[in-house]
Amino acid sequence: MTVNAVPRPGFDAELRAGLAVVGGMFPPTITPELIDFMRVSYASPPMTDLFRQHRIDVTDVVLPGYQGADLTAAVLRPRDAQGPRPTVLYAHSGGLMFGDKFSGLDLVLDWVSDLGATVITVDYRLAPEFPDPYPWEDMYAALEWVAAEAGNLGVRRDRILVAGASAGGGLAAGIALAARDRGGPRPCGQLLDYPMLDDRLITASTAQFDGIGVWDRVSNQTAWQAMLGDRRGGDDVSPYAAPARAGDLSALPPAFIDVGAAEIFRDEAIDYAGRIWAAGGDAELHVWSGAFHACDIFAPHTSVGRSMIRTRNAWVEKTLAD
């Protein structure tokens, strides 16, 4: 694909050097024909040694998802933890089409080992085989299960944070909305890393990144088409599937939103934070200069990647504290 000529912010020099390496595993443009390839390429590596290094105990569980279907999940606890713990319910990245419960999880292990939190990460069902409402309903069912099983899980019911990256960030935003509207368990916060929020593909940043970077306009269209089918971009789209569609962003848990200045989700993330503020809510927004999508996952060693991780971890620590 020829890279378009629309003016756009440049990539950070240190990050730009890593893009060629990233492209071998995660091509900038993902079409429906590449979904099966991505399910192999983006599958999480073995994590046993990493869990051991961080002194994390992992318990595999099965929980009831949407319509009672069995979902697999993992409960990560600090070794030798005692008493009820603050907890993060985590939705993985992967454009709603690929990835698994451990995808990108190495970035949040510090929440367990350093902050003493429990992390529960879920294998929600994926589009296109399981389109809207399955992914977000699975995650909402997981939130209800965590709250209901808090005593057995050693979870503090008043300190459940919902979090996710990319598509997972959109899911975290969607279940925060659903919990408010359904009178469900109220999260203590919502952490939305470069979230996928809007199926309409109408922002300036969407047009700026076409055939370049990580997760371009066509990739986003592929994902939303898999999730919504012919309803994509139309009037009949649930705000729980595409949170940018929500007309009311009041009475939501405090939000942390971060996004790269050099990626397609920049404008919808900024708009979402602005609308939370306009509704009187609490949002902390970070827009990282020169950052491409998910650069902290693909290039965590860079200055920008390290800054993103450090800033995010500080917010999580503050939000999970009493």
According to DSSP, the β-strands at 85-91 and 70-78 are unpaired
Average pLDDT over residues 67-86: 94
Write the CB contacts of 165 (distance below 8 Å, at least 6 apart in sequence): 92, 93, 104, 107, 193, 194, 294, 297
The continuous run of DSSP H or E covering 121 comes out as: strand 118-122
The answer on pLDDT for 303 being more than 80 is yes
Q: Would you give the DSSP letter of residue 68?
A: G
Confidence of residue 1 (pLDDT cuts 50, 70, 90): very low
How many Å apart are CA 242 and CA 256, to the nearest integer? 18
Q: Would you give the DSSP letter of residue 203?
A: S
The answer on pLDDT for 6 being more than 90 is no
Q: Are 306 and 278 in contact (CB under 8 A)?
A: no
Question: What are the pLDDT digits (tens) for 158-184?
Answer: 999 999 999 999 999 999 999 999 999
| Residue 23, pLDDT score | 64
Determine phi and psi for 9, rounding to 5 degrees: -65, 145
Q: Would you give the DSSP letter of residue 109?
A: H
Confidence of residue 125 (pLDDT cuts 50, 70, 90): very high
Share of the chain above pLDDT 70, in %: 98
Q: Would you give the DSSP letter of residue 106?
A: G
| Residue 2, pLDDT score | 45
Determine phi and psi for 253, rounding to 5 degrees: -65, 155
| Residue 280, pLDDT score | 98
Question: What are the pLDDT digits (tens) for 16-42?
Answer: 888 877 866 788 899 999 999 999 999
Q: Would you give the DSSP letter of residue 185?
A: P
Average pLDDT over residues 99-106: 94
**Which residue has 């066509």 as its token pair?**
218
In this predicted model, which residue has the larger pLDDT, 181 or 3? 181
Q: Are 257 and 285 in contact (CB under 8 A)?
A: yes
From 39-48, 135-144, 225-234, 308-317, the region with the lowest mean pLDDT: 39-48
Average pLDDT over residues 176-199: 98
How many Å apart are CA 312 and CA 193, to the nearest integer? 9
Cα dist. 151→147, 148, 189 in Å? 9, 8, 20
In 3D, which of 152, 229, 127, 187 has the Cα closest to residue 320? Answer: 187
Give burial (CB, 10 Å; 0-12/13-18/19+) of 153. buried
Question: What are the pLDDT digits (tens) for 128-139?
Answer: 999 999 999 999
The continuous run of DSSP H or E covering 35 comes out as: helix 35-41
Average pLDDT over residues 299-305: 94
From 133-137, 208-212, 317-321, the region with the lowest mean pLDDT: 208-212
Tokens, residue 133: 């409402």
How many Å apart are CA 76 and CA 66, to the nearest integer? 23
In 3D, which of 250, 272, 127, 125 has the Cα closest to residue 177? Answer: 250
